[in-house]
Structure 1
């Protein structure tokens, strides 16, 4: 008998606080039938907001909620172990934490600002993915969606950016950090294919979140990118979440090492 949901396993979402991409990914898992979800974010209050939305939408869902800093390797390892202690496994992992940084050329950027961007966007993503892989390798695969689909030991989706593929002025550190996420995703996809673990990334364009609309300065900074995209609008975090869930699902059973662009056509224009 086929499963009643595409997501019978356990989902982990980092950077899940507030109204950003991570929060919408976590909510989408709950809406699509995943009944065990673990979320983390640096901001404890925003994380509780996400938990409340999940439980209001899907009261049957068990939520493990723990705030912490994904640039701290000890927290990352401890959090993943707690997920496994509670739920016994990790099947779908989505690494969403990210920051923009200031709008400045490289000679204007100080090293501490460069490190801040890369510590979250690349190093934090790598540490999260590394800890998830360590746990996934210990577990038996989930059965396939149908007898014709292979079993899947785990699926990881890292959130990169359209600016990991093309660059824009005054964002060298950000562009490089997201390019690194794409390169890491592809290399890990090669390494862990033999373990029945799929690893992909999503490259969002300008998405309407608190990070992109929080101040007039940021909104003005991103306006040219919105105008460049043929669809001429900001994307919605729900639209990114849809792409993420597809890549986690057994419907993407032959998709590996892919950087899926969700940007309204930005990079083709």
Structure 2
């Protein structure tokens, strides 16, 4: 049975799976849908057109699905979508989208999101990411799968962080971060391949060797970006074609803010 604390306020129009748990003083709005085995902690507010999958855990005092912090938003009904098995710690704020994109903020599955993280409107957060305490994602930010963002990192609007990338503590991310790389410092710079992360995910020695070659071409060979991409394309056939394709696709869609190099 759904376990709803006597002090919680759950709108009768909200749709909760039968085994959802709702803690003391939580508030759940009428357009909210929550999947099986999700736990909503004390004082959590879930509002807006918010859809949440299964096995998520919301720790106390988060605000989920509030209107976007965008002065051009005029009350349009937009949405927030959250996948499965996410851990969302205390005091997080996730906003719905705007129609500057398709009106949806999307969060994937299996993410570990620590306290006081802000996910703004139209963010695309992948799966298996780690966002440490006080990470701030501005509007329209895209974060790839398995990315790790260190504590107190701020990401500028419209910036993308590639899959398997690592951003160091207190990173000021105002340009795109390439997949597989570690960036840190002030000003932010690409330092090396994220070897610790790749090894933890059982990347083979052959794949890592090719990723190292891509890193050298992009960040150490002083090549124009177009020429570096041509050289990366030529690495195909060495056992890491999927990784090469991921990198080239990321670079092909790099935004106006440029690439952290």
Superposed pair shares fold, TM > 0.5? no
Give the shorter-chain TM-score range.
Answer: under 0.3
The structure where strand makes up a greater share of residues is: 2
Higher RCO, Cα 8 Å, sep 6+: 1
Larger Rg, first or second structure (1 or 2): 2
Scaled by the length of structure 2, the TM-score of the pair is 0.23
Scaled by the length of structure 1, the TM-score of the pair is 0.22
